[in-house]
Amino acid sequence: MKHVKKAVAQILTGTALVLTASHAGAVSVTSTTETFNAAHTITNGAGTNAIGTSLNNGGGIDGSGRAIATGHILTAGAGQAGVYHDYTTVKSWADMAIDLGWMHNADWVQINITDSGTYKIKSEVIGFRNAAGSANTSNATTTTTYSPMVLDKTIHPAFSIWSLAGSAFTGATSANNPATVQSPLAYGYTTGGNNNTMGFNQVAAPNGTNNSTFLATGGVNGFVGYSNSGFSGWYNGNGDLVGTGSAGSSSGTNADGFLYTDLTVNLGAGSYLIAIGGSCVDLVDCGPYQTKTVTTLATGATAVSKAYGTGWHELTVTAVPVPGAVWLFGSAMAGMIGFGRRKQALAV
C-alpha cells in the first residue's frame, strides 16, 4: 500500500497542462495585410507578390488563440501556445558546403517557457517566398539567365534547440565563431577544408572547439535536441552523426503538401535558443528552384547550377496535456486508498 500511495502522489502532483490548438491556417496570417493565396505564395493588400522579412511577429493573440511572437522572442506556457512566422533558406540548417548550418541564414528565435512541462515544438513550411525568382543579369564579362521558378514543395525543415543560462541570448556576430578544421568524417569532406566562421554545430552542445563558440559566448549552456525532416545518416563538419532527430522527434507532410518536423520534449521554465532552417545536405529535393546558367562572353563557356528559393515557415510551441486516462487512473487509485482506510478504521 505504501508503494501505491507514493505512485498516486506522483501522479496527482504532476502539472496539468492545457491543450491548445497547434495547427494554424495556411490561408491567412492574422493582423497583417500579407496573406497566402491559393498558390501558397505571399501577396500584399493589392494582390501582388510581396516579399518581407517576417510575417506578423508583432505580439498579440492570433485567430487560433496563440500568443504571437514579438520580433524573434516567443513565449509559451501550460495554458498558452506560442506562434512565430518568418522565412528561411532551403539549406540553412544543413548544407553540403560546410556540413553544418549557415549561422547567418538560419532563423534564430528565443523561446521563453513560463511553466515546466512537456511541449511540442513544430516547424512547418506553409508557403513559397519570392515565387517569381531571380531575373536575368549581365555585365561586361558574363551573362546569367534563370529558368522560370519550379515550385517544388520539398523544403525540408529542421531545427536545433539549446538551453540558455540566463533570460537572453547575448551573442552578436559570427566573429565569435573562429574557423576550425572540418572533420574527416564530414559528408562533403575535402582535405584541408574548414567550417569558416558561418557554421554552427546543430546536433550537440557547444564545447568551444566544435564551431559553436558564439553559442557558448552568447549564453548557451546545454543542448536540448533537434528534429530533421531532411536527409539523415551523415556526419556533419564536427564529426557528429546527424539523424532524423532526438528522442521525441517526428516529421511528415501537411494537408497542403508541405513538410513539417517536430520535437516533443520536457522543458523546465526558462529561456531557450532555437535555430530553424532547411536541411538539404545531399542537394536533392531541396525545394523551389531555378536553373541558373552563367555564360562567359569571351569563350562561350557555360556553368549550369540550381538556384534555390526560400519558404515561409511557422514555428509553434504547444504544451502537451496529461492524458485524461492518467487522471482517471489517479482518481480511481485515490478512491481505493480511501476505501482501504475506511476498512482499516472499521476493523479497529
Amino acid 229: pLDDT: 97
51-59: average pLDDT: 59
Coil, helix or strand at residue 322: coil
Amino acid 290: pLDDT: 95
| DSSP for 254-308, written as a single string | -TTS-EEEEEEEEE-SEEEEEEEEEEETT-SS-SSEEEEEEEETTT--EEEEEEE
| Mean of all residue pLDDT scores within the chain | 78
Residue-wise pLDDT for 228-248, tens only, equals 999 999 999 889 999 999 999
Amino acid 190: pLDDT: 72
Position 322 pLDDT exceeds 50: yes
Which cell is 47 given? 494582390
Residue-wise pLDDT for 269-305, tens only, equals 999 999 999 999 988 889 999 999 999 999 999 999 9
Q: Across-strand partners of 150?
A: 289
